[in-house]
A and B are shown apart, each in its own frame.
Chain A
Protein backbone atom coordinates (compact mmCIF):
# COMPACT_ATOMS: atom_id res chain seq x y z
CA UNK A 1 0.00 0.00 0.00
CA UNK A 2 0.91 3.65 -0.17
CA UNK A 3 3.36 4.84 2.49
CA UNK A 4 3.98 8.38 3.63
CA UNK A 5 7.09 9.36 5.54
CA UNK A 6 7.04 12.60 7.47
CA UNK A 7 10.09 14.30 8.90
CA UNK A 8 11.09 15.34 11.36
CA UNK A 9 9.01 13.29 13.81
CA UNK A 10 9.25 16.11 16.33
CA UNK A 11 10.85 19.49 16.69
CA UNK A 12 11.40 22.06 19.40
CA UNK A 13 11.81 25.66 18.29
CA UNK A 14 11.97 29.11 19.80
CA UNK A 15 9.05 31.46 19.29
CA UNK A 16 9.67 33.58 16.22
CA UNK A 17 11.69 30.96 14.35
CA UNK A 18 10.70 29.54 10.99
CA UNK A 19 9.76 25.87 10.69
CA UNK A 20 10.12 23.43 7.82
CA UNK A 21 8.77 19.91 7.56
CA UNK A 22 8.30 17.53 4.68
CA UNK A 23 6.53 14.44 3.53
CA UNK A 24 7.61 11.85 0.98
CA UNK A 25 5.65 9.12 -0.72
CA UNK A 26 6.62 5.77 -2.17
CA UNK A 27 4.34 6.48 -5.14
CA UNK A 28 3.13 9.42 -7.19
CA UNK A 29 0.29 11.47 -5.73
CA UNK A 30 -2.03 13.95 -7.43
CA UNK A 31 -3.32 15.49 -4.19
CA UNK A 32 -1.49 16.69 -1.10
CA UNK A 33 -3.21 18.10 1.97
CA UNK A 34 -1.75 19.43 5.20
CA UNK A 35 -3.63 19.21 8.53
CA UNK A 36 -2.98 20.33 12.12
CA UNK A 37 -4.28 18.39 15.09
CA UNK A 38 -4.57 19.58 18.68
CA UNK A 39 -4.80 17.07 21.56
CA UNK A 40 -8.21 15.42 21.80
CA UNK A 41 -9.48 17.03 18.59
CA UNK A 42 -9.81 16.04 14.96
CA UNK A 43 -7.38 17.25 12.28
CA UNK A 44 -8.05 20.71 10.86
CA UNK A 45 -7.33 21.37 7.18
CA UNK A 46 -4.58 23.95 6.59
CA UNK A 47 -3.67 23.81 2.90
CA UNK A 48 -4.68 21.75 -0.16
CA UNK A 49 -2.42 21.20 -3.20
CA UNK A 50 -3.53 19.69 -6.51
CA UNK A 51 -0.79 20.43 -9.04
CA UNK A 52 2.91 19.52 -9.22
CA UNK A 53 5.04 22.56 -8.39
CA UNK A 54 2.09 24.40 -6.82
CA UNK A 55 3.00 26.77 -3.99
CA UNK A 56 0.13 27.86 -1.75
CA UNK A 57 0.05 30.08 1.32
CA UNK A 58 -2.38 30.40 4.20
CA UNK A 59 -1.24 33.25 6.43
CA UNK A 60 2.15 32.32 7.88
CA UNK A 61 1.92 28.83 6.38
CA UNK A 62 3.25 27.93 2.94
CA UNK A 63 3.08 24.50 1.35
CA UNK A 64 4.48 23.15 -1.90
CA UNK A 65 3.58 20.19 -4.08
CA UNK A 66 6.92 18.67 -5.12
CA UNK A 67 7.84 18.51 -8.80
CA UNK A 68 8.37 14.74 -8.62
CA UNK A 69 4.81 14.41 -7.22
CA UNK A 70 6.27 12.19 -4.50
CA UNK A 71 6.83 14.88 -1.89
CA UNK A 72 5.40 17.96 -0.27
CA UNK A 73 6.73 20.61 2.10
CA UNK A 74 5.19 22.82 4.75
CA UNK A 75 6.82 25.95 6.12
CA UNK A 76 5.65 28.05 9.04
CA UNK A 77 7.17 31.50 9.37
CA UNK A 78 7.63 33.43 12.62
CA UNK A 79 6.22 30.70 14.85
CA UNK A 80 3.97 31.57 17.77
CA UNK A 81 2.89 29.45 20.79
CA UNK A 82 -0.47 28.52 19.22
CA UNK A 83 1.39 26.75 16.38
CA UNK A 84 2.02 23.91 18.84
CA UNK A 85 0.42 20.68 17.69
CA UNK A 86 0.85 17.76 15.35
CA UNK A 87 1.06 18.45 11.63
CA UNK A 88 -0.02 15.73 9.24
CA UNK A 89 0.47 15.45 5.54
CA UNK A 90 -2.07 13.46 3.55
CA UNK A 91 -1.97 12.40 -0.04
CA UNK A 92 -3.80 10.37 -2.62
CA UNK A 93 -3.69 9.33 -6.25
CA UNK A 94 -6.51 8.45 -8.61
CA UNK A 95 -9.62 7.40 -6.76
CA UNK A 96 -7.92 6.24 -3.59
CA UNK A 97 -8.89 7.72 -0.21
CA UNK A 98 -6.44 10.00 1.56
CA UNK A 99 -3.44 8.35 3.23
CA UNK A 100 -1.91 10.15 6.20
CA UNK A 101 1.64 10.37 7.46
CA UNK A 102 2.53 9.77 11.11
CA UNK A 103 2.83 13.46 11.83
CA UNK A 104 5.40 16.02 12.95
CA UNK A 105 4.97 17.12 16.56
CA UNK A 106 5.83 20.80 16.94
CA UNK A 107 6.69 22.39 20.28
CA UNK A 108 7.28 26.14 20.56
CA UNK A 109 9.33 27.54 23.41
CA UNK A 110 8.33 31.07 24.36
Chain B
Protein backbone atom coordinates (compact mmCIF):
# COMPACT_ATOMS: atom_id res chain seq x y z
CA UNK B 1 0.00 0.00 0.00
CA UNK B 2 1.57 3.29 -1.09
CA UNK B 3 -1.00 5.64 0.43
CA UNK B 4 -0.67 7.88 3.48
CA UNK B 5 -0.27 5.78 6.63
CA UNK B 6 -1.21 6.92 10.13
CA UNK B 7 -0.57 5.24 13.45
CA UNK B 8 -2.20 4.48 15.75
CA UNK B 9 -5.72 4.33 14.30
CA UNK B 10 -7.23 4.84 17.74
CA UNK B 11 -5.88 6.30 20.97
CA UNK B 12 -7.64 6.54 24.31
CA UNK B 13 -5.89 8.55 26.98
CA UNK B 14 -6.58 10.20 30.29
CA UNK B 15 -6.72 13.95 30.61
CA UNK B 16 -3.29 15.38 31.31
CA UNK B 17 -1.34 12.65 29.52
CA UNK B 18 0.86 13.26 26.48
CA UNK B 19 0.15 11.53 23.17
CA UNK B 20 2.10 11.23 19.92
CA UNK B 21 0.81 10.32 16.49
CA UNK B 22 2.82 9.31 13.46
CA UNK B 23 2.22 9.92 9.75
CA UNK B 24 4.04 8.38 6.80
CA UNK B 25 3.23 10.28 3.60
CA UNK B 26 3.19 9.00 0.03
CA UNK B 27 6.88 8.46 -0.73
CA UNK B 28 7.35 10.97 -3.55
CA UNK B 29 5.35 13.74 -1.82
CA UNK B 30 7.30 16.70 -0.45
CA UNK B 31 4.49 18.31 1.46
CA UNK B 32 2.78 16.97 4.59
CA UNK B 33 -0.26 18.41 6.38
CA UNK B 34 -2.04 17.87 9.66
CA UNK B 35 -5.77 18.52 9.98
CA UNK B 36 -8.19 17.97 12.84
CA UNK B 37 -11.80 16.90 12.45
CA UNK B 38 -14.52 16.87 15.09
CA UNK B 39 -17.94 15.24 14.79
CA UNK B 40 -20.17 16.94 12.25
CA UNK B 41 -17.43 19.24 10.99
CA UNK B 42 -15.06 19.30 8.07
CA UNK B 43 -11.31 18.94 8.53
CA UNK B 44 -9.61 22.02 10.01
CA UNK B 45 -6.06 22.92 9.06
CA UNK B 46 -3.42 22.69 11.78
CA UNK B 47 -0.02 22.89 10.11
CA UNK B 48 2.01 21.84 7.09
CA UNK B 49 5.59 21.02 6.11
CA UNK B 50 7.53 21.42 2.90
CA UNK B 51 10.19 18.75 3.29
CA UNK B 52 11.46 19.26 6.87
CA UNK B 53 10.46 22.93 7.12
CA UNK B 54 7.25 23.79 8.97
CA UNK B 55 5.81 26.56 6.80
CA UNK B 56 2.53 27.47 8.44
CA UNK B 57 0.71 26.90 11.72
CA UNK B 58 -2.95 27.57 12.44
CA UNK B 59 -4.13 29.47 15.49
CA UNK B 60 -5.80 26.16 16.43
CA UNK B 61 -2.33 24.79 17.15
CA UNK B 62 -1.90 25.82 20.78
CA UNK B 63 1.45 25.64 22.53
CA UNK B 64 0.52 22.17 23.79
CA UNK B 65 0.76 20.91 20.22
CA UNK B 66 4.02 20.32 18.41
CA UNK B 67 4.66 18.77 15.02
CA UNK B 68 7.94 17.65 13.53
CA UNK B 69 9.20 16.23 10.29
CA UNK B 70 12.89 15.83 11.06
CA UNK B 71 14.11 14.17 7.87
CA UNK B 72 11.46 15.36 5.50
CA UNK B 73 9.78 11.96 5.43
CA UNK B 74 7.49 10.85 8.27
CA UNK B 75 5.98 13.34 10.71
CA UNK B 76 4.88 13.22 14.34
CA UNK B 77 2.22 15.28 16.09
CA UNK B 78 2.50 15.48 19.85
CA UNK B 79 -0.14 16.81 22.21
CA UNK B 80 1.02 17.56 25.74
CA UNK B 81 -1.25 17.68 28.78
CA UNK B 82 -4.26 16.51 26.80
CA UNK B 83 -7.67 18.03 27.48
CA UNK B 84 -11.12 16.63 26.72
CA UNK B 85 -11.49 19.24 24.00
CA UNK B 86 -8.60 17.63 22.14
CA UNK B 87 -10.81 14.61 21.37
CA UNK B 88 -11.04 14.48 17.59
CA UNK B 89 -9.88 12.68 14.46
CA UNK B 90 -6.37 13.82 13.54
CA UNK B 91 -5.84 13.54 9.81
CA UNK B 92 -2.57 13.60 7.94
CA UNK B 93 -2.36 14.38 4.24
CA UNK B 94 0.42 14.71 1.70
CA UNK B 95 0.87 16.34 -1.68
CA UNK B 96 3.50 16.61 -4.38
CA UNK B 97 4.55 20.11 -3.36
CA UNK B 98 4.85 21.45 -6.90
CA UNK B 99 2.46 24.38 -6.44
CA UNK B 100 0.84 26.20 -3.53
CA UNK B 101 -0.53 24.50 -0.41
CA UNK B 102 -3.96 24.25 -2.07
CA UNK B 103 -2.94 21.47 -4.44
CA UNK B 104 -4.49 17.99 -4.30
CA UNK B 105 -4.23 16.52 -0.83
CA UNK B 106 -4.27 12.78 -0.24
CA UNK B 107 -5.41 11.82 3.26
CA UNK B 108 -4.62 8.95 5.55
CA UNK B 109 -7.28 7.11 7.56
CA UNK B 110 -6.68 9.29 10.59
CA UNK B 111 -6.01 8.75 14.29
CA UNK B 112 -9.12 8.94 16.46
CA UNK B 113 -8.20 10.44 19.84
CA UNK B 114 -10.47 10.11 22.85
CA UNK B 115 -9.48 11.99 26.01
CA UNK B 116 -11.27 10.74 29.12
Chain A residues within CB distance 8 Å of chain B: 4, 30-31, 33, 35, 40-45, 48, 88, 90-103
CB < 8 Å: which of B6, B106, B112 contacts A45? B106
> Are A43 and B107 in contact, CB atoms less than 8 angstroms apart?
yes
Min CB distance, A18 to chain B, in Å?
24
A-B contact count (CB 8 A): 66
Chain B residues within CB distance 8 Å of chain A: 4, 6, 33, 35, 40-45, 48, 56, 91, 93, 100-110, 112
Given that A95-B100, A95-B101 are contacting pairs, would A100 and B44 also be in contact in the complex, using a CB cutoff of 8 Å?
A: yes
> Are A42 and B91 in contact, CB atoms less than 8 angstroms apart?
yes
CA distance A103 to B6 in the complex (A): 23
> Are A103 and B104 in contact, CB atoms less than 8 angstroms apart?
no
CA distance A42 to B23 in the complex (A): 13
Min CB distance, A58 to chain B, in Å?
13
CA distance A86 to B61 in the complex (A): 26
> Are B43 and A43 in contact, CB atoms less than 8 angstroms apart?
yes
Given that A97-B45, A98-B45 are contacting pairs, would A42 and B107 also be in contact in the complex, using a CB cutoff of 8 Å?
A: yes
In the complex, given contacts A31-B102, A42-B6, A98-B105, what are 11 additional A-B residue pairs having Cβ atoms less than 8 angstroms apart? Answer: A40-B109, A42-B107, A42-B109, A45-B105, A97-B33, A97-B56, A97-B102, A98-B101, A100-B35, A100-B43, A100-B44
